[in-house]
Amino acid sequence: MHAIPRMTTERVDVGDYTLPAEIPVLCSVWSLHRDPRFWDKPLQFDPSRWADTDPRDRGYAFIPFGGGPRICIGRHFAQLEAKATLATLCNQYRVTAPDDLVVSPKMTTQPADPVHARFTKR
């Protein structure tokens, strides 16, 4: 999910803006995961920065599945599924894809166009 909907419970100041209580807001996961206040080299592709971390470990600056009482119920399955799939594919194939991937944020962040990846047998 590229943005997480929430409702303010009290008035809050964000920079030069004041948000009143009980209005809907969206938390941009994409922006938060690239915020230089929380991450060294925030725009560099480095999945290891998130290895063995939990939303609470970074003060909720890392929330791939949300956080708190509304954290995604399927997060453990999704992580296990991703590891199993990648391990199986990458063990047998070398995967290459174009460097100019453009994403389109909808309910989840996804490629704007089809991704033409090349699988070469190892």
Residue 36 confidence class, pLDDT cut points 50, 70, 90: very high
Contact between 1 and 29 (Cβ < 8 Å) = yes
State yes or no: pLDDT of 2 exceeds 80: no
Residues 66-90 pLDDT 10s:
888 888 899 899 989 999 999 999 9
What are 21's two structure tokens?
């209580």
Mean pLDDT over residues 61-68, rounded? 82
Mean pLDDT over residues 13-23, rounded? 94
Q: How many CB atoms lie within 10 A of CB 89?
A: 12
Domain definitions of the chain by residue range: 3-72
d(CA 29, CA 77): 20
In degrees and rounded to multiples of 5, residue 94 shows phi and psi of: -95, 125
CA-based nearest residue to 58, from 37, 84, 86, 73: 37
Instruction: Of 40-44, 66-70, 117-121, give the lowest mean pLDDT range.
Output: 66-70
What are 46's two structure tokens?
């480095």
